[in-house]
Amino acid sequence: MPSNHRLTRDQHHFGWDNALTPALSIKPGDTVTFETIDASGGQLGRDSTAADVARLDFAKVNPVTGPVFVDGAMPGDALEVTILEFAPSGWGWTANIPGFGLLADRFTEPHLHIWEYDPATLAPAAFKPGGRVPLRPFPGVIGVALAEPGLHSVVPPRRVGGNMDTRDIVQGATVYFPVEVPGALFSLGDVHAGQGDGEVCGTAIESPMDVTVQIGLIKGAAPRFPRIVTPGPRSRHMDSHGYEVTTGIGPDLMTGARDALGQMVDLIAAQHGMSALDAYLLCSACADLKISEIVDQPNWVVSCHFPRVVFA
């Protein structure tokens, strides 16, 4: 019979290293509850201010709980991880960290927004300058160890997962990871209560919570990169009032993304009487960047979709 396990938040690590001692060993089919720390590694809390953002120690950001050794997992296999449940904490934060984010050259000052939300209902969370953001939790960091030895930063995503910041990994979703080392060494953390596609300012609604997953194994079925199966519609919680959409058009997708986002930041700030910096943080929490066209060379279209339900 499958077993249930729990890892506490003190059983965490920073970065990916296949030499780490497993915090837990399980059999395929077992479930594990991961207690997680927020993306700041506990450096930010309910009473923090922008001054605390400026003092962040980046050696302590994005801690992940684990790693978990899965019996029988070998290179070439697929690790099958199904998200069963989230136990939210009821608070989170979004920050502008100088030098980080899509518009880092425009927004150079530290800024912090603290969110409070109902952990039982996950009702839309108030953004105190204005608006309410629908929530749908997911782990920002989730993955397995690399075959290459040594310590690898947790900041960039990799072929084995990691800091994917992909909001499709919600309750009911299943993710398939390529196993590269015996036991796979699976970890997760950096849970978000909500985020737009792109996480444009560099942070989402960063919220500590517990995550329960079931871990399976498919022999010889490793995907080249992580693959996700979603449990149903991905945007219904945002769709009810339509979207404001801005675009960026040109030969470079990154420039197009910046142009589309910059226009949306200015539009939301003007429409709702908030600062551009607050609008930037709000976009990171709920606006989606999309590649709308990538075939009509030499120019491509990137669009930024802001859900009107936030201000309905």
First to last CA, the chain: 48
The overall average pLDDT reported for the chain is: 98
Are 53 and 135 found together in one domain?
yes
CA pair distance 280, 44, nearest whole angstrom: 20
Are 47 and 127 found together in one domain?
yes
Identify the CATH number of the domain in which residue 252 sits: 3.10.28.20
CA pair distance 56, 259, nearest whole angstrom: 29
**pLDDT given at position 12:** 98
Give the H or E element holding residue 162.
Answer: strand 161-163
Are 201 and 278 found together in one domain?
no
Q: What is the pLDDT of residues 146-159, one digit of tens each?
A: 999 999 999 999 99
Are 273 and 138 found together in one domain?
no
Are 82 and 160 found together in one domain?
yes
Are 259 and 172 found together in one domain?
no
Are 16 and 65 found together in one domain?
yes
Mean pLDDT of all residues in 282-296: 98
**pLDDT given at position 146:** 98
Token pair for 53: 């953002």
Q: What is the pLDDT of residues 183-226, one digit of tens each?
A: 999 999 999 999 999 999 999 999 999 999 999 999 999 999 99
**pLDDT given at position 44:** 98
Reported as a pLDDT band with limits 50, 70 and 90, residue 1 is confident
Of 187, 205, 229, the domain-final residue: 229
| Claim: this prediction has a pTM higher than 0.95 | yes
Mean pLDDT of all residues in 89-102: 98
CA pair distance 64, 48, nearest whole angstrom: 22
Are 130 and 95 found together in one domain?
yes
**pLDDT given at position 154:** 93
Name the residue type at position 18: N
Of 229, 257, 281, the domain-final residue: 229
Angle at the Cα of 137 (from 134 to 139), degrees rounded to 5? 150
Are 271 and 159 found together in one domain?
no
Give me the numbers of helices (H) and strands (E) for the chain, helices first please.
Answer: 4, 20
Nearest residue to 288 via CA among 299, 273, 303: 303
Of 192, 212, 229, the domain-final residue: 229
Are 55 and 115 found together in one domain?
yes
Are 103 and 164 found together in one domain?
yes
Q: What is the pLDDT of residues 243-273, one digit of tens each?
A: 999 999 999 999 999 999 999 999 999 999 9
Are 14 and 92 found together in one domain?
yes
Token pair for 249: 């058009």
Token pair for 156: 């960039």
**pLDDT given at position 4:** 97
Q: Say whether 131 sits in a helix, a strand or coil.
A: coil
Q: What is the pLDDT of residues 33-75, one digit of tens each?
A: 999 999 999 999 999 999 999 999 999 999 999 999 999 999 9
**pLDDT given at position 281:** 98
DSSP per position, 49-83: -HHHHHT--GGGSS-EEEEEEETT--TT-EEEEEE
- What are 243's strand-pairing partners? 307
Mean pLDDT of all residues in 117-144: 97
> Helix-strand-coil percent breakdown of the chain, rounded to 5?
15, 35, 50
Residue span of the structural domain in which 282 resides: 236-311
Q: What is the pLDDT of residues 166-178, one digit of tens each?
A: 999 999 999 999 9
CA pair distance 169, 191, nearest whole angstrom: 11
